[in-house]
Amino acid sequence: MFNPFSLAGKTILVTGASSGIGRQCAIDCSRMGARVVLIGRSEERLAETFHEMIGCGHMITAIDLTDFDRIGGCVTDIISQCGPIHGVLHCAGISAILSLKQMDILHLDHFFRNNVYSAIELTREVCKVHHIAKEGASIVFFSSVMGCVGESGKSLYGMTKGALIAGSRSLACEYAKRKVRFNVISPGAVETPINARQPYMADPELRQLLEEKHLLGLGRTIDISYACIYLLSDASRWITGQNLIVDGGYTAR
């Protein structure tokens, strides 16, 4: 049966694959037929993701992507074992609520290293000649609704996420001739094991306020992974330089 969303025959890199949205993306990409390279800091937690996947040929790569000197060798190893890359989901990143008064240059450096520099350095290596599949590739950065709208205490986080949206547009122009598409996913509040422990979800009153901000309620990890599958697949072959907001109506108000 014809399926334009199939990822069969594609090699997909998923960062942040050890938990939450990244884990769900890796699992669902395998269900759609992809060979998936799981990237994250913890080999043990990546192995947990690996055991939930289907198919064969998947690969675990434990690396801290802020260790920039290691990224080149990591990508070279992936290519040697799995062949050219058809797609990247850069799910890895950090978040915090931090006021301007609390912020200093160390916070800025830490957030930009984790949320922006790591994405760009990985992309630079992936997009080298002979690393990308001949038929092209799809690179998907993970931003957030906080990259599009404002909220108290989210200025630093929002800066890093907004940078990915802006950068993806120019990268889409730069790599179009090589058939490499660049897009961004911007989720709203999604229920994950980490988020479930945060006050805004763990506290019943705060959770209700958060739910009310999302017209369709809080999101699930599959809501994001399914959108990612679309952007990785040939169904989105004519889409590049876009920010796909998946937020249950948060930004519609």
Give the pLDDT of residue 25. 98
Helix (H) or strand (E) holding 210: helix 204-213
Per residue of the chain (253 residues), give pLDDT as tens.
899 999 999 999 999 999 999 999 999 999 999 999 999 999 999 999 999 999 999 999 999 999 999 999 999 999 999 999 999 999 999 998 999 999 999 999 999 999 999 999 999 999 998 999 999 999 999 999 999 999 999 999 999 999 999 999 999 999 999 999 999 999 999 999 888 777 778 888 989 999 999 999 999 999 999 999 999 999 999 999 999 999 999 999 8
DSSP class of 147: G
Return d(Cα 155, Cα 173) in angstroms, integer.
28
Q: Could you confirm whether domain 11-243 is CATH 3.30.428.10?
A: no
Residue 173, CA atoms < 13 Å, CB-side half-sphere: 4
Cα dihedral angle (9, 12, 17, 21), rounded to 10 degrees?
A: -90
Q: Which residues contact 219 (CB under 8 A, 6 or more apart)?
A: 187, 188, 189, 190, 191, 246, 247, 248
Residue 13, CA atoms < 13 Å, CB-side half-sphere: 38
Question: Which two three-digit tokens encode residue 55?
Answer: 């198919």
Give the pLDDT of residue 35. 98
Provide the whole-model pTM: 0.95
C-beta of residue 88 within 8 angstroms of C-beta of residue 171: no
Return d(Cα 118, Cα 124) in angstroms, integer.
10
Q: For the chain, which residues make up each domain, given as ranges?
A: 11-243
Q: ∠10-15-18 over CA atoms, to 5°?
A: 110
Q: Which residues contact 193 (CB under 8 A, 6 or more apart)?
A: 19, 20
Give the pLDDT of residue 52. 97
Tally Cβ neighbours within 10 Å of residue 200: 12
Give the pLDDT of residue 196. 78
Short-list 236, 244, 241, CA closest to 86: 236
